[in-house]
Structure 1
Amino acid sequence: MFDTIRTWLNPTPMHRPPLYGRGIHALPNPEERELFERASEAFIRGDILSGYEYFLSSLMHQESTFSLPHLSIERSEETLRFSLYQGYALIKGSVTPTSLEAYADIALSEKLHVAIKRRFLERDFQLTYCRFSEEIGVIKLSIRLDNATITPQKIFFPLREIALNADFEKEFIAGEFDESVLLDTGHLTLINPVKIESHYAFMHQWIQETKQSLIGLLSNDNTGMVSFSYLALLLQIDYLLLPHKKMAKNISEKINGYFLEDEKLTEDKNADLEQYLAELETMDIETFSTQFYDSAYTFSPFEQAMHDEIAAFIDESLNKVRWYKNNRSNYVISVIYRYISLYILYNYGLHPSLRALLHLHVEVYTSDFFKAAGETPLYDPLTRTFKEKLISQRIRESIEPYMSRYKGLQNFTEHLNYSDLDHFSQSFYLQIKNLDYTEV
């Protein structure tokens, strides 16, 4: 009875989105579905501007932490204008009853290297909806839609394509060439130098810890263990530090290159990862600091994954844990547990609740990082104890706001094993695997 009264007085808050990783650092609009349906209805009755207004409003995030609104809409009697931010890119658009036109200014044409201009021509063949062009000395990426048979779906994918690709190309130029040629970058926010120094110190600490842990293991018999260690480290740097520009590109290429099905031996792939980690270790802090900024994002870079895919990956990974346990390779077990959550966060588009839950697991394994960031650590590595009540509260906040929509979704805190990190992770992933996101 007292628990019920306490719940009435302190209702479950909507969980906070993790401020890490490359997903959107804000929750989706709680009326997203309703606004999307209103947009469809408005288009059917021929009210084009209202349809666009409803659709764009459905993209607005809840409680974004960025200083500028990621999406702005202005409507007059005959037109609707909007602007949205996607990392490096600013997309500006105007809508009339007959058409939508939107563009992103990329760079000053006369200052661009000829290799970049050639790249834009090649990229046009890879794009579905938008095209690069030159106008009054400015390279643009733009789209135009005819509103004769418009639907919300026919707006979403072109807008997402122009936003993601404008951001990608500007990041590429910033990492490989002279950043001063880029246009519309005034919205980017520099990271506090104290935070940069902390990131730099943690990166070095993690690299040293990984190198130390592999002493005596660097042989052909331990290639899998070495792979997990290097990949988990790069995934952790990418997720927690969130570098951009060339550093982000290189990390992505190293991780994705490892999983390419080619003729390269695992030993050679590990050597590539090791070499890049050595490059990160020797990077000076001045260069390191140029790889970071903060910005608003409108679209997720990930396609939404089915939970069956996540469950299958967890199953496959836990089978590897079982194999290493049977072969008494105990060191790598905790590395694989850490790797699982980081890889899912890196590779899949996740439901907001699942993203928050997997972030919680990352917090448990990197408690010193979060303690330095001013947050209450969920695990004490010295006493090897968990903050069980806080973990339970965080799980409840991540799940219960969605239980009315997903009737099979259940709070699983009572099923966790807090004996040690390995037992916690095993019980945690078994519960994550069995979450039910079926809409009723």
Structure 2
Amino acid sequence: MGFLDELFNRNTDKEEIKMLGRFSDAYKPSSNYKVWEDALLAYENEEYLKATINLLTFLKNPENKNISYQTAENEVTFQFFQGSKTISGFQNETKFRAEAKIAQTDDIKIGLSRRLLEKNYLLKYSRFALDEEGNILLIFDSYTVDASPNKLYQGLKEMATQADKLDDLILDEFSDLRPINNEHIIPRSEEQKEKQYVYLTHKINQCFHEIETSKLNIDQFPGGLSFLLLDLNYKLDYLLTPEGFLMDNLEKNHRVFFANDKSEVALKNNLFIKSFRKILEKDKEEIKAELYDVISTFGLPVPTPHETLTQLIESELNKMQWYKENKHTAIALAIPSYVVGYSLFSYALPMPDMKLLDLFYRVTESEFLNNGEFINGDTPNARRVKKEMARIENKYKSIHPHLDLNASAIDFSTMLTFSESFLNLIKDINLDHA
């Protein structure tokens, strides 16, 4: 199976599963290959209920806490979690139906109706509805005979991810709505949320200060400013894993910047800055309310080979040189950090890559993440970093026998030399399979 076989091998060590950042459903046990193939075969043989049961089994994550289902004669009922939303449904001999309750209202307003109607046009499989109890629903249904595993997977993914994104946003926008079916979210401690809020505002203000005091002519070098803003965007997304308004803002920043609309980089930078100012203007308690943990079934980052990361490092890292030579250290530091953040935001890379990119943040943001465990003053803690690299190599050596994390290639003298040499090491590793 090659690359994908390695991707579906994340559950062998519980310590390896716990990572920051966005959830990806790419890291399932290799046994799920057989379950998916069984689902396709059962559907081809017109064993529709068996096909759906196999699909639901396939959707289980390694921890097996995201989905449950019950079978009776000629029917299966199920429930699964996607972030702050619960999706429930059934399939019998004639029909498949799934729904997510997004929010509850006593009187749906014209503005909300228009908002949902506009979103309806963007949906391929699901649609909005209002039930008799005043619950705003997102529904996906199909005749059983048409409910192939591929169709069900795509339809459920669309409705689940859209429902999860929308609930916090419309609750924030329309104050008369009430939350519903979010009892399963995992609250963070008040101390943790306070620490994360302080980090959030500090990092944004730090970025603004760098922009205002930089000796770089931003009009002539807007790309330098872009690196600062992109680095900040992905760092906040990965390290805080927020929901609601904050998550939506970070995602919009990404989409706007990389939209192929021929907008000037300077204009995109200004939109970025406005977005971060909105975050600073947001009420503190409202931001903290979006800092919680969730269980998910579907993920957005897609399986991506190591070669994609190699190409990104090669194309971006050489842009550090001019900024280094001209003493624009903050921008030079932002470039490798942007590469790391963009990769963790966009891709589900092989696990050695993911763990090494995570380690990069463990070092560069050590004070926030682990009370300075990976630094000595202002420089990386070489002994601690080498120990972690050895653990990663030993963990994945059986899958990638040519994996050699030679820490002697890393320059630990400053954070800047570390960042550059560490990414060059990642670029050159060999992830060929046994």
Q: TM-score, normalised by structure 2?
A: 0.84
Give 2:410's aligned residue: 417
Aligned partners of 1:40, 1:439: CA distance in 2, in Å? Answer: 28
Q: For residues 337-376 of structure 1, what are the structure 2 equivalents within 5 Å?
A: 337-372=336-371
Change (3 A) 1:13 1:255: closer
Task: Tell whether 2:167 aligns with 1:170.
Answer: yes
> Is the CA contact (8 Å cut-off) linking 1:29 and 1:60 kept in structure 2?
no
Q: 3-state DSSP class of the match of 1:111?
A: coil
> Is the CA contact (8 Å cut-off) linking 2:101 and 2:180 kept in structure 1?
yes
C-alpha deviation, 1:251, in angstroms = 2.7
Give 1:96's aligned residue: 92
Change (3 A) 1:81 1:352: farther
| CA RMSD, 1 decimal | 3.1
Give 2:244's aligned residue: 245
Aligned partners of 1:167, 1:291: CA distance in 2, in Å? Answer: 12
Q: For residues 210-359 of structure 1, what are the structure 2 equivalents within 5 Å?
A: 210-214=207-211, 215-217=213-215, 219=217, 220-262=219-261, 264-325=263-324, 329-359=328-358
Letter in 2 for 1:362: Y
C-alpha deviation, 1:288, in angstroms = 2.4
**Pairs aligned (count):** 418
> Is the CA contact (8 Å cut-off) linking 1:91 and 1:163 kept in structure 2?
yes
Give 1:37's aligned residue: 37
Give 2:202's aligned residue: 205
Aligned partners of 2:307, 2:43: CA distance in 1, in Å? Answer: 35
The answer for unaligned runs of 5 or more in structure 1 is 1-11
Aligned partners of 1:323, 1:218: CA distance in 2, in Å? Answer: 12
Letter in 2 for 1:430: N
Give 1:47's aligned residue: 47
Change (3 A) 1:135 1:209: closer
The answer for unaligned runs of 5 or more in structure 2 is 1-11
Letter in 2 for 1:184: N
Give 1:105's aligned residue: 101
Change (3 A) 1:99 1:394: farther
Aligned partners of 2:20, 2:304: CA distance in 1, in Å? Answer: 19
Higher alpha-carbon deviation: 351-360 or 53-62: 351-360
C-alpha deviation, 1:366, in angstroms = 0.4
Letter in 2 for 1:245: G
Change (3 A) 1:128 1:55: same
Aligned partners of 1:382, 1:295: CA distance in 2, in Å? Answer: 34
C-alpha deviation, 1:79, in angstroms = 1.3
C-alpha deviation, 1:105, in angstroms = 1.9
Percent same amino acid at aligned positions? 24
Change (3 A) 1:148 1:286: closer
Give 1:429's aligned residue: 423
Q: TM-score, normalised by structure 1?
A: 0.83
Change (3 A) 1:262 1:109: same
Give 2:17's aligned residue: 17
> Is the CA contact (8 Å cut-off) linking 1:73 and 1:80 kept in structure 2?
yes
C-alpha deviation, 1:261, in angstroms = 4.4
Aligned partners of 1:25, 1:378: CA distance in 2, in Å? Answer: 29
What per-residue deviation string (whole Å, max 9, x for no partner) do you get for residues 322-368 of structure 1? 44446564442222111110111123344444333321212111010
Change (3 A) 1:51 1:431: farther
Q: For residues 53-202 of structure 1, what are the structure 2 equivalents within 5 Å?
A: 53-63=53-63, 69-108=65-104, 110-136=106-132, 137-148=134-145, 150-178=147-175, 180-202=177-199
Higher alpha-carbon deviation: 69-78 or 352-361: 352-361
Change (3 A) 1:127 1:436: farther
